């Protein structure tokens, strides 16, 4: 599903609250095939768009596509040095624009596109 697309099932959902920037929320899972996360807020289950969530880092994240290029820098202009496969998990250390930074076993710093990764809970 394209980033920023609101799933049809959510179009009629009521806005239950708004939160100030920097508010911590407890994410309990990802809605499969969407950019929405299930969260707990005041004992209730609510849904928040990925557009409004920043992971607390470091954060373990998993690849959500069959093959994802690992690059030496935070853009498609950098060389590909490896591939993550669906379900592969890495510990993200930072975000740079729409790119996630992590280290390989040899200590190399590398990047993957954020839109193809999901937080592991």
Check residue 9 and give its pLDDT.
Answer: 40
Cis peptide before 68 (omega within 30 of 0): no
**pLDDT tens string 65-78:** 999 999 999 999 99
Residues 71 and 101 in one domain: yes
Residues 29 and 65 in one domain: no
Check residue 4 and give its pLDDT.
Answer: 45
Query: Residue 59: beta bridge partners?
Result: 92
- pLDDT (average), residues 9-26: 67
Q: What total number of domains does the chain contain?
A: 2
Separation CA 74–CA 65 (nearest Å): 19
Domain membership of residue 1 (yes or no) is: no
pTM: 0.62
The side-by-side arrangement of strands in the sheet containing 36-41 is 26-30, 36-41, 44-49
Q: Are 85 and 100 in contact (CB under 8 A)?
A: no
Q: CA torsion, points 111, 99, 35, 55, in degrees to nearest 10? A: 90
Range of the domain at 82: 59-119
Number of separate helices (H) and strands (E) present in the chain: 1, 11
Domain membership of residue 13 (yes or no) is: yes
Q: What 3-state DSSP class applies to 52?
A: helix
Judged by average pLDDT, the poorest of 5-19, 47-61, 82-96 is 5-19
């Amino acid at each position: 599903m394209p980033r920023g697309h609101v799933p049809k099932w959510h179009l009629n959902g009521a806005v239950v609250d708004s939160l100030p920037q920097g508010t911590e929320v407890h994410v309990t899972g990802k809605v499969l095939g969407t950019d929405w996360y299930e969260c707990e807020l005041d004992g209730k289950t609510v849904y928040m768009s990925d557009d409004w969530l920043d992971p607390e880092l470091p954060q373990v994240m998993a690849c959500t596509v069959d093959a994802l290029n690992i690059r030496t820098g935070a853009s498609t202009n950098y060389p590909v040095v490896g591939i993550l496969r669906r379900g592969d998990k890495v510990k993200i250390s930072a975000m740079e624009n729409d790119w996630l930074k992590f280290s390989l076993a040899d200590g190399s710093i590398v990047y993957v596109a954020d839109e193809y990764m999901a937080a592991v809970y």
